[in-house]
Amino acid sequence: MSVTMLEAHGHPVPVRPDVERWATRPVRRRVLAVVHTVTSGRRLLDAVRLLEGDWRVQVFFTAAPDVFSGGVADFLDELKVLVLPWSQAVQTVFDLALAAGHGGLHELHAPVVVLPHGAGHNKIVRARRGGAVAARGVYGLSRQRLVRDGTVVPEAIVLAHREELARLGRECPEALPVAEVVGDPCYDRVTASRPARALYRQALRTRAGQRLVLVCSTWGPGSLLGSGGQELIDRIVAELPPEDYRVAVLLHPHVWHTHSEWQVRGWFAGLGRGGLAVVSHRADWVGALVAADFVVGDHGSVSLYGAMTGRPVLLACLPDADVDPGSPMAELGSFAPRLRDGRPVRRQLARAAATYRADLHERVAARITSEPGRFARKMRALLYRKLRLRAPGALPATEPARLPCLVEYDEPGSVVS
């Protein structure tokens, strides 16, 4: 369970006024990791881990209010971290706060560094302010997310690519002075994982001679799963001969935590027992992506990272109204083949492979980050500059993704993972 060390009046030892009396070791800086969702929490770990081994720093976690907060408590519990209730976190002074979401950040007493929680900034969303619907904007770059009472909330806005500076300038020019181009940790992890492709394929039980089709869905009604994805997955599994193809499905964590793990497992129980590989949401998705021979997706980040793999990306759906036309996702959508109803799936995959343009996919992949391989170095430099500390000498290496794991289906009525 997460460590809280609560005293009688509800203050963990490291934030008590008399901390020197009780703490085993004094620290010089206190950092708060603000977790809005499981997805944002996982992205925060890419930054928080850059502080590992520094005895001068104590890291706290808190769960911020969010519509997709389901699963956050279990996520933090599994990490064995020190968790402050949100009500206490907003009353405590920290030297730095890290977030990959935006809700409630103006309430914190700390300089805030905001990271993106996906591949760049591709989605257009409506913001709500005081019960009213505000103008649509690019999530993570819009004024509605970044400005409160005329003031830019974050002290630093982390971007993955230099071209995002121009997009931020159009959406919220007053935020440009605090923007920093740092890179993308998932891009770097995909790159580091590609040499281990055979191991990931083995973990997904893909036999020699089989081609792995990874069907990936983001969340929401405009996603692959939300717009007829059940029928599509049924059709892919039914039409592709198992001696030649292995089909796997990868769902956004919001799907699992909104509908419940039990329900998602149950929905896929028949297909799972029939040979569909259901990738567990508890696993690192990078290995499944690297293992794939075909990626069938939507406007989610996994489809965009798929452009890095050297394999065809097909789109089952792309809600144009929800995608920024100047984004890398829109560019991918301009040439990626659509998986069409009423046409044989196998023939469409064969055509996608025959017409695959490596140059187009590489051009999109190059738009994910302008700092390939440099996230760890540049992000750590940013953290220590904001903490006003000298960074330790050793720089953490980008490790390959851990092996993916599958939901296991036993006898009818019994599901285990």
User: Residue 373: pLDDT above 60?
Assistant: yes
8 A C-beta contact, residue 76 and residue 36: no
Written as six digits, the tokens of 398 are 């980008």
> Looking at the predicted structure, is the pLDDT value of residue 134 above 90?
no
Q: Which CATH class is domain 193-367?
A: alpha beta
d(CA 301, CA 312): 15
The residue type of 247 is V
Give me the pLDDT at residue 413, please.
Answer: 43
What residue ranges do the domains of the chain occupy? 13-186+371-387, 193-367
Domains 13-186+371-387 and 193-367 share a fold: yes
170-209 per-position pLDDT tens digit = 889 999 999 999 999 999 999 999 999 999 999 999 999 9
What local confidence, expressed as pLDDT, does residue 347 receive? 97
Would you mind telling me the total number of residues written for the chain in this entry? 417
Six token digits for residue 311: 């394999």
pLDDT of residue 57: 96
Contact 415, 267 (CB under 8 A): no
What is the rounded average pLDDT for all residues in the chain? 90
Burial of 363 (0-12, 13-18, 19+ CB in 10 A): middle
Range from 65-79, 122-136, 369-383, 389-403 carrying the lowest mean pLDDT: 122-136
Whether domain 13-186+371-387 has CATH 3.40.50: yes
Q: Once rounded to an integer, what is the mean pLDDT over residues 371-385? A: 97
Q: HEC profile for the chain?
A: CCECCECCCCCEHHHCCCHHHHCCCCCCEEEEEEECCHHHHHHHHHHHHHHCCCCCEEEEEEECCCCCCCCHHHHHHHHCCEEECHHHHCCCECCEEEECCCCCHHHCECCEEECCCCCCCCEEEEEEECCEEEEEEECCCCHHHHEECCEECCCEEEECCCHHHHHHHHHCHHHHHHEEECCCHHHHHHHHHHHHHHHHHHHCCCCCCCEEEEEEECCCCCCCCCCCHHHHHHHHHHHCCCCCEEEEEEECHHHHHHHCHHHHHHHCHHHHHCCCEEECCCCCHHHHHHHCCEEEECCCHHHHHHHHCCCCEEECCCCHHHECCCCHHHHHHHHCCECCCCCCHHHHHHHHHHCCCHHHHHHHHHCCCCCCCCHHHHHHHHHHHHHCCCCCCCCCCCCCCCCCCECEECCCCCEEC
Predicted local distance difference test score (pLDDT) of residue 414:
44
